[in-house]
Amino acid sequence: MAEQSNTTPMISVTPDGPYLIDGELPLTRRRMVLSEFGEPMAWQVTEELERADRVALCRCGQSAAKPFCDGSHVRVGFDGSESAATTSYERRQTTYVGTGVVMRDDRSICEHAGFCGNRVTTVWKMIRHGDTEDTVKRAQLMAMVERCPSGALTYRLSEDGTDVEPDLRAGVGVVENGPLLVTGGVAVRRADGQPLETRNRVTLCRCGGSANKPLCDGSHKENGFSDP
């Protein structure tokens, strides 16, 4: 049996280079389960990838060995300059009060996965139109918020309560044609040494095109990033 690592898992963003994962973390490939109308509904793990004490994951989007780094960032002259805020979610969020639920939203970290809406409604409409008076619709809103990969959306049961978060293991999900989904409170340190706020859900850019590096801003959809 392989010896277990005693290193607390951490992700470090290297200057104009890859993400370095120190400490053994589960690494999986994931895809969004879509309805027949193209609506995101759930997450599916499609593959368990190799685990090691130290792994370098591509963030320039050019590696031929995705999700792993092959040094392409040097060849293409990747500019990995970071602009994501190091302030807290608490300071940036906007609060929406409904019946029996309080939704909070930080647009600055949204990666536009689309779990927040369907062909009928969105979580914002549900809150504003009083839909959460119906417990079935309230439960639907809670489920949609919990599937938000970036953690831009959260909810609590009262304004003075604490956020109710899904129980997610510490790990990194490589999203099909999308970002890295970091779950379970894994610490992320920027290349300038500043820590990002440690949260239960974080999405990191791996297409190289985000204007909010190291966080994903949905640019992979516009630039045609592919890693199926």
Per-residue confidence (pLDDT) for residue 2, from 0 to 100: 40
4 within some domain = no
Note whether residue 228 is domain-resident. no
The pLDDT assigned to 225 comes to 97
Clarify whether residues 176 and 64 are in a common domain. yes
What is the DSSP code (8-state) at residue 214? T
Residue 147 and residue 199 in one domain: no
**What are the structure tokens assigned to 84, written together?**
């994501």
Name the token pair of 64: 């031929």
Q: What is the pTM of this model?
A: 0.94
pLDDT the model gives residue 68: 96
Tokens representing 33 are 């389960």
Domain identity same for 67 and 171: yes
The pLDDT score that the predictor gives to residue 1 is 35
What distance in Å separates the CA atoms of residue 127 and residue 105, rounded to the nearest whole number? 12
Cα separation values, 31 from 28, 42, 52, 135, 202, Å: 10, 9, 23, 29, 16
Residues 70 and 130 in one domain: no
Q: Do 191 and 175 sit in the same domain of this protein?
A: yes
In terms of domains, do 106 and 219 share one?
A: no
Question: Residues 109, 215: one domain?
Answer: no
Same domain, 151 and 175: no
CB atoms within 10 A of CB 80: 20
pLDDT of residue 138: 98
* 156, 182, 208 - which closes a domain: 156
Could you tell me if 99 and 110 are in contact, meaning their C-beta atoms sit under 8 angstroms apart? no
Range of the domain at 61: 10-84+167-223
- Asked if 74 and 22 sit in the same domain, the reply is yes
Looking at the DSSP bridge assignments, the partners of residue 55 are 21
Cβ contact 182:164 at 8 Å: no
Q: Which residues of the chain have pLDDT under 50?
A: 1-4
pLDDT for residue 6: 57
Specify the number of domains making up the chain. Answer: 2
In a domain, 58, yes or no: yes
